[in-house]
Every structure is written in structure tokens, then in C-alpha cells.
Structure 1
Amino acid sequence: MSFSAVSRALQVQLVPPRAAHALLWFGWRSEAHAQRHMPIEPWSVDALRRRLVASTPDLADPEKQEHRWIVQWQEECVGIVSILRPSLRLGHAELSYHVAQAHHRRGIATEAVAALVDRVFEQTDLARLFAYISEPNRASRKLAEKLGFVHEGTLREHFMIHGRRIDQCVYGLLRREWSSPRKR
């Protein structure tokens, strides 16, 4: 099933990743904001390219553990959203998102995550999505809360970022709680 998540106001789209997006992804991961808030593994561009090629936007593929889409805004690639380690048996998956620092505070990430949640709940039987967010990353936590995710707890000193232990918040969203802001 073809799906184009488009916001009339922001023109945000989720598109399948291509190998060529690896260099962009590498750049986004290298930004100060990402480095400050995420436990980024030092993947090379080639390793990221292999991950993109191995991932699939097809949520019906039960063998895949990484489903990724590139976020486009006004025809420009500005970020990435993912569903990680879906468990069809248990009915849950991790949601991950990142938008380039130059495009923060425009509502792009909120639109992209809403589009991804819509896609997951429309195309799968998953009952629950969750996200791990660094406790100091208030903007990301606010985004999750704005979309209805509930702060379910904090994993103390769970992230290791630049040699420092950082608390990690767990946010969860149940299918029955989801009310798409894109469809209101």
C-alpha cells in the first residue's frame, strides 16, 4: 500500500530511504544537538548506507527489525523516522525520530512523527509504541507529550553520552489513546 504522509501546512512527507541518504544521516548524527542528547554509535557513512539498504519502509515484513523513512520538507531531506524492533507477538515497537538542527522549531518533527504513528496504527496490529528520550532533551519530550505519549518512567543513568551517564525517559502510546492531529 502506498502511503504519502503530507501536511498541507508544512508539506512534510515520509519517503523510503535510499543509499544516497546515508551521507545526510551521517551529517544529522554529527550535529551538536544529536551528540548532546543521543548515545550515537560511531557508524561510518558506509555502515549507515548498509543499514538504510537493509531497512524497509514495509511494515508488513515480519523479519525486519528496522523500518525507516526519510523526512522531506519542501522537497528537502531534513530528517529520519524509524520503527525499531517491532514485536508482532507482543504488539509493540520502538519509535525513533531525528530532524536536522537547522529545521528545529518549525513543527516538522511533530508532523513527521504523527505521520509515522498514523502509518503504524493503520498498517499493523501493534497495540503500543514507545520512545526512549534523553531526560535533558526537553524539546523531544514535549513533542512526545504533545502527540499523546505518556511519560511511563525514567531509566536512571541508562544512556552513556560522552562518558557521562544520562537518565533516559520512556514514553509510551497505546493504539486506543491515539488521536491523529493530522485528521482532526
Structure 2
Amino acid sequence: MNIDTETFPVLETKRLVLRQVTQEDAASVFSYLSDEDVMKYYGLEPFTSINNALNEISWYESIRDNKTGMRWGITLKEQGIVVGSCGFHNKVAQHFRTEIGFELSKEQWGKGIASEAVEAIIRYGYEQMNFQRIEALIEPPNQASQKLVEKLGFVREGLLRNYEFTRGKFDDLYMYSLLKQDFDKKS
């Protein structure tokens, strides 16, 4: 499959290019999604084969085809290799809302890359996808993701008890939200 630059929006930031993830990226996707630390709060077991990565990429394609979301690969400008992904899922068009998700290769943690990428897609979501509300559902022990969304202006609205069943257990999730007018004020 070729990268579809005609219809898939490529976003650039100071250090990053956010682009469509293709089957050619399966090895790099597998590289970070097979890491237990990266997958700790992802809701899936660490990947054990390249087929897991190909299935993940197929999911990215399906949410876009079904108009329920969009997922970008995070690449460093000088490398072009996918080191993480971020995007929207569970889009509810009639209510102008969506959820956001993101993950990043452990080698890139602590450099502000996830924050830079997520801010870019939030801007795109409000300006081009007409969202009013973007939600983030985060497990209470996931301090790094909480700090990231709070830095971007998200507000913690409450705790959703036993909200998901993943990896053999029920997980509580904090509900965070960012409204368009709050992001506009911050920008």
C-alpha cells in the first residue's frame, strides 16, 4: 500500500511529521508495541509477532474508512521511521466529540515528542474535523499521560469505575476533556 497523501492529512511540527501508517511500517510498529512498558496502559498484551502489528495497522485503516477515527504515525523529521502513533477513535459525529489516544517508543520518552504530536492533532481536530469536545480516558496509575493531557489544558472530570476489561482485569479510567473554546484560549 502506498501512502495516500491526497486524502490522508500529513501534519508537520517543529521536530515531527505525522503521517499515515502503512504496512511498510509494521516492523517499527512491532518494535515499540512489543515493549511491556509501552503496552502497560494500552489495553492489549505486548505484541508477539509482526502479524499483531499488521492487524493494528489494519485497525487504523478501518477506523478511518468507517469514519470513526484517524490515527497518525509519529515520525522524527530527520528519520521518517514511525516511533509512535496518536489519533482519534470512538468519534461521535452527531455530538462533535471524539476520544484521543497516543503511545510512543520508550526511546523517545521524556523529550516532549508525544506532547508535540498530540497538540498538533488536537489543533487539526478542532480546525479541520469540527470537534467541540476531545476526551482522554486514562488509567489512574498512568501519571505520564495524565501530565501530558493536563499540560495541554484537559480537565479531569471524574473516575469511571471498572470502565474497561483489558488484559484480564477491570480498569478504572479517569475521564478528561478539552473543549474547543478552552483550547482556543490557550493557543
Q: Which runs of 5+ in 2 are unaligned?
A: 1-6
CA distance in 2, matches of 1:180, 1:51: 34
Among 151, 159, 166, the alignment partner of 2:156 is: 151
1:35 Cα deviation after fit: 2.8
Partner of 1:120: 125
Identity, % of aligned pairs?
26
> What do you get for the CA RMSD once the two structures are aligned?
2.4
Partner of 1:67: 70
> What SS does structure 2 have at the residue aligned with 1:44?
helix
CA distance in 2, matches of 1:99, 1:149: 20
Partner letter of residue 58 of structure 2?
R
Q: Which runs of 5+ in 1 are unaligned?
A: none
Partner of 1:107: 112
Partner letter of residue 37 of structure 2?
H
Among 70, 73, 93, the alignment partner of 2:98 is: 93
Partner of 1:47: 55
Length, aligned pairs only: 175
Contact 2:88 / 2:98 at 8 angstroms: preserved in 1? yes
Partner of 2:3: none
Contact 1:12 / 1:112 at 8 angstroms: preserved in 2? yes
Q: TM-score, normalised by structure 2?
A: 0.81
